[in-house]
Structure 1
Amino acid sequence: MEERDDVLHMPHDQIEAMQLEGIKKTVVACYENVPFYKKSFDEAGFDPYSVSSLEDLSRAPFVCKQDLRDEYPFGMLAVPREDVREIHMSSGTTGVATVGAYTEHDLKFWAECFGRGIAYAGGGRSDVVQICYGYGLFTGGLGAHYGSLFSGATTIPISAGNTERQIRVLREMGSTILCCTPSYAMHIADTAIAMGLDPARDFHLRAGIHGAEAFSDNFRAELERKFDYKVLDVYGLTETMGPGVAVECMEQDGLHIAEDHFYCEIIDPATGEVLPDGEWGELVITTLDREASPVVRYRTRDITRIIPGECACGRTHRRIDRLHGRTDDMLIIRGVNVFPSQIEQVMETFDEVSSWYQIELTTKGHLDVVTLKAEVNPDFDFDSTGAIEQLQGRISAELKAALSVGVRVRLVEPMSIPRSEGKAKRVIDLRGENQ
């Protein structure tokens, strides 16, 4: 796919002018076609017809996931239902699902956005893209699929699961780009190794586009070592489009926002105040040209920042940093706020443990108990009780110093924590169950 230099390398003042026009159209379309927005804007005293600068958007009220759930199934549509060509839904595992609807136009720009990610990975007509995201209501599979077709690559829509078959296809079809969650990519690598294969030698991969869950730099490095390829992060969510809202380039220095389709703000999650570039906060997204399911100032709950300056790749679209967790992932342990990413950052300092872990929350009496279950690396002497106890003590002490709350550490053998074909389940909360 040839990149649209006019868009991806445009001076940023021209990008902002384009974004302003998109915001003006979006807020008016929402106000005139979606009763929820008319009521919300009126209650907040926000006049959508008065927007004359990007800063004016900060006067608009936020929208959150619960708002979308409350309007299930079609209350947030801004077009007649007959104009909708496709519908996706969030998992709904924590409540009613949110609906993402797409017109023909919406599907085309979604394909272009993920297709940019294929291009960022150096992909095009000579590549074979193996898509192991789940197909269906989840946006991952079809979002990557449309992007791969847009890029001109040969597309293998294998979906998730049947890992040994995935491995055969990787070898026999010469797949060069792998699209799936990072945890499933690691599972593929580990399964191949267990089968006596060397993923770096026996596969033909040059890049992996891995999203749908946060992963650490250490996890990325381990994947790149096992596959001998480049790992690029991709960001998206059903409420705004799906994967492709932002994608890393080969510089691996932040994810380029598709700024011709989305306007991103970083806010203080407590006050709602817009923060300057470089400061960490909650990502808020406004769609600029989505027809069926536009959103204005959608609170993603994802913690990131706008990276100041331009990328060394020369593309001028601003970048968000890789996610540092979610505001709703925060655990409150004995009155202390703890993010799983903080625990992972401590683990990265210990070479003896791998990137596979689970955080188990239980109660003892009236107190919360946090247990970190982590796999040791294969070269660690797991049979040495003294070595295990010593390492558990060192990790526990570091966690106590970093988090100001006690964490039990239980080290387990390699490959003993269950793998997933989709998103990795990192937190197991058993506090509501009888102990």
Structure 2
Amino acid sequence: MIWNEEYETLPREALEALQFRRLKSLLETVYARVPFYKAKFDECGVKPDDLKTLSDLGKFPFTYKQDLRDNYPFGMFAVPQEQVVRIHASSGTTGKPTVVGYTRRDIDTWSELMARTLSGAGIGKGDILQNAYGYGLFTGGLGAHYGAEKIGASVIPISGGNSKRQLMIMKDFGSTAISCTPSYALSLFEVAEEEGYDVKSMPIKVGVFGAEPWTNEMRTEIESKWGIDAVDIYGLSEIIGPGVAFECIEAKNGMHISEDHFIVETIDPETGENVPFGEPGELVFTTITKEAIPLIRYRTRDIAIINRQPCKCGRTNVRMSKVMGRSDDMLIIRGVNVFPSQIEAVLVEKKGVLPHYLLEVDRVDNLDTLEVKVEVEGSFFSDEIKELQRLTREIEKDIKDMIGVTCKVRLVEPKSIARSEGKAQRVIDKRKI
């Protein structure tokens, strides 16, 4: 089911002409309105007029997540504050979030993109979407919500958690679709078994899953247990939120990128040079229709492959593979972006804590777990046990406050964490994703 046939099936020549017009206008806008971009362009010796063809985009500088942090909170905005109708934010590495804004037109664009996403999953008017993505500063919940309303589906804004209530609502309201993280779908199935629900007898037919990496093997497991179709979506708050790319239910073979709103490149993360489509590279996006906080050549750090082959669904936009890895040390734990540096920032503030730690990430009963092993001075182990317990609870609370994810802290003796002659290994990820 194609939501916007005019733009989702544009011939390549017409699409690239549209991209060029929008990109030209965007470069002029950010140069005139965003001091960061004017300074960056001038430093690199480029002007908006240097864009003669789409390929000239490579002359312009990259934008990094750190640039948004350095201009916190509103320094990257390209419109006056009174035109910003929505503000979202994602977790930051030092406690300061990455802030993004939306004009009314941006919200309309986002709704359009999520309408395409949900239509691609076969959801339409008459369906009941149980939206179990989190609402709030996180972009997932409201993004899916607005898209579902745009296509005329009924939305249950249940947000995440409270699995027993989720299942009761799903059964009683007759939900036909669910949107959540894939790991939560498997966790919810386990609760359904414990509570005696037969999910295959319910009307639910499709799940729209994202916000964390997942494999095709995990897709097979979800589809088998629930008796539904499971489709993948991709997005990130800096670009617009969910809706940047989505799988079609017909093929389930790569996520269609809405190229009338985003120009995608793949680069070698070490050199910054473009790599050919069809080879793994770091995804770089330019937002060509955003008003509040447009971004030029934003480096996502996500590694994927771009496929330009036609899809049997009829869409002409390029498709991206599932994310194959990261070019930085970011982890995604229960849908939340987590950097080791965030946890390190908590630990260095603690008296008696040594600068040696290890993060162990695992998936237990289909939910991500995080254990933080940290060395403390030997004197702690000669003190009363209650002092170790106090410090453990204090670190767990401070980490939860910093990153929004519950973890288990284990205090260990000095020199018990293996040392490395090169770059210290801070993370062991045991998840099979």
Give the TM-score normalised by structure 2: 0.77
Using the TM superposition, give the Cα deviation of residue 264 of structure 1 relative to its aligned residue in structure 2, in angstroms.
0.5
How far apart, CA to CA, are the structure 2 residues paired with 1:355 and 1:78? 42
Query: Are the counterparts in 1 of residues 2 and 116 from structure 2 also a CA contact under 8 Å?
Result: no
Deviations, residues 228-287 of structure 1 (Å, cap 9, x unaligned)? 111111111110100000011011100000111111101100000111110101100000
> Are residues 1:223 and 2:222 paired?
yes
Query: Are the counterparts in 2 of residues 255 and 321 from structure 1 also a CA contact under 8 Å?
Result: yes
SS in 1 for 2:230: strand
Give 5+ residue unaligned stretches, structure 1: 332-339, 348-352, 365-422
SS in 2 for 1:170: helix
How far apart, CA to CA, are the structure 2 residues paired with 1:140 and 1:258? 18
Query: Are the counterparts in 2 of residues 262 and 287 from structure 1 also a CA contact under 8 Å?
Result: yes
Letter in 1 for 2:105: H
- Relative to structure 1, the CA distance from residue 39 to residue 246 in structure 2 (aligned partners, 3 Å threshold; closer, same or farther) is same
Residue in 2 aligned with 1:238?
Answer: 237
SS in 1 for 2:315: coil
Query: Are the counterparts in 1 of residues 187 and 365 from structure 2 also a CA contact under 8 Å?
Result: no
1:44-83 maps to which residues of 2 (within 5 A)?
A: 44-83=44-83
Using the TM superposition, give the Cα deviation of residue 308 of structure 1 relative to its aligned residue in structure 2, in angstroms.
3.1
How far apart, CA to CA, are the structure 2 residues paired with 1:95 and 1:269? 26
1:12-411 maps to which residues of 2 (within 5 A)?
A: 12-92=12-92, 95-201=95-201, 203-250=202-249, 251-329=251-329
How far apart, CA to CA, are the structure 1 residues paired with 2:366 and 2:195? 21
Query: Are the counterparts in 2 of residues 3 and 116 from structure 1 also a CA contact under 8 Å?
Result: yes
Deviations, residues 294-337 of structure 1 (Å, cap 9, x unaligned)? 00000011111101311111110111111112222379xxxxxx
Letter in 1 for 2:85: R
SS in 2 for 1:266: strand
Query: Are the counterparts in 1 of residues 4 and 116 from structure 2 also a CA contact under 8 Å?
Result: no
SS in 2 for 1:13: helix
How far apart, CA to CA, are the structure 1 residues paired with 2:47 and 2:167? 55
SS in 2 for 1:37: helix
Query: Are the counterparts in 1 of residues 283 and 303 from structure 2 also a CA contact under 8 Å?
Result: yes
Query: Are the counterparts in 2 of residues 218 and 355 from structure 1 also a CA contact under 8 Å?
Result: no
Letter in 2 for 1:289: T
- Relative to structure 1, the CA distance from residue 220 to residue 5 in structure 2 (aligned partners, 3 Å threshold; closer, same or farther) is same
- Relative to structure 1, the CA distance from residue 132 to residue 302 in structure 2 (aligned partners, 3 Å threshold; closer, same or farther) is same
- Relative to structure 1, the CA distance from residue 432 to residue 29 in structure 2 (aligned partners, 3 Å threshold; closer, same or farther) is farther
Query: Are the counterparts in 2 of residues 357 and 426 from structure 1 also a CA contact under 8 Å?
Result: no
How far apart, CA to CA, are the structure 1 residues paired with 2:266 and 2:96? 27
Residue in 1 aligned with 2:11?
Answer: 11
- Relative to structure 1, the CA distance from residue 217 to residue 267 in structure 2 (aligned partners, 3 Å threshold; closer, same or farther) is same
Using the TM superposition, give the Cα deviation of residue 92 of structure 1 relative to its aligned residue in structure 2, in angstroms.
2.4
SS in 2 for 1:329: coil
Using the TM superposition, give the Cα deviation of residue 188 of structure 1 relative to its aligned residue in structure 2, in angstroms.
1.0
How far apart, CA to CA, are the structure 2 residues paired with 1:100 and 1:433? 42
- Relative to structure 1, the CA distance from residue 52 to residue 118 in structure 2 (aligned partners, 3 Å threshold; closer, same or farther) is same
Alpha-carbon RMSD across the aligned residues, in angstroms, is: 2.8
Using the TM superposition, give the Cα deviation of residue 433 of structure 1 relative to its aligned residue in structure 2, in angstroms.
8.7
- Relative to structure 1, the CA distance from residue 433 to residue 149 in structure 2 (aligned partners, 3 Å threshold; closer, same or farther) is farther
Q: How many aligned residue pairs are there? A: 360
SS in 1 for 2:328: helix
How far apart, CA to CA, are the structure 1 residues paired with 2:94 and 2:227? 37
Deviations, residues 184-223 of structure 1 (Å, cap 9, x unaligned)? 111111110111222222x221111111110111111111
- Relative to structure 1, the CA distance from residue 2 to residue 58 in structure 2 (aligned partners, 3 Å threshold; closer, same or farther) is closer
Residue in 1 aligned with 2:346?
Answer: none
Letter in 1 for 2:240: M
How far apart, CA to CA, are the structure 2 residues paired with 1:88 and 1:81? 14
- Relative to structure 1, the CA distance from residue 90 to residue 354 in structure 2 (aligned partners, 3 Å threshold; closer, same or farther) is closer
Deviations, residues 328-378 of structure 1 (Å, cap 9, x unaligned)? 2379xxxxxxxx9xx99xx9xxxxx986676867589xxxxxxxxxxxxxx
How far apart, CA to CA, are the structure 1 residues paired with 2:265 and 2:177? 31
Letter in 1 for 2:309: G
Deviations, residues 86-119 of structure 1 (Å, cap 9, x unaligned)? 1100122554211110001000010010111111
How far apart, CA to CA, are the structure 2 residues paired with 1:279 and 1:429? 40
How far apart, CA to CA, are the structure 2 residues paired with 1:261 and 1:66? 23
- Relative to structure 1, the CA distance from residue 228 to residue 94 in structure 2 (aligned partners, 3 Å threshold; closer, same or farther) is farther
Deviations, residues 118-176 of structure 1 (Å, cap 9, x unaligned)? 11111111100110111111000000001001111011111112111100111111111
- Relative to structure 1, the CA distance from residue 105 to residue 161 in structure 2 (aligned partners, 3 Å threshold; closer, same or farther) is same
Using the TM superposition, give the Cα deviation of residue 21 of structure 1 relative to its aligned residue in structure 2, in angstroms.
1.1
SS in 2 for 1:231: strand
Give 5+ residue unaligned stretches, structure 2: 332-358, 376-402, 417-433
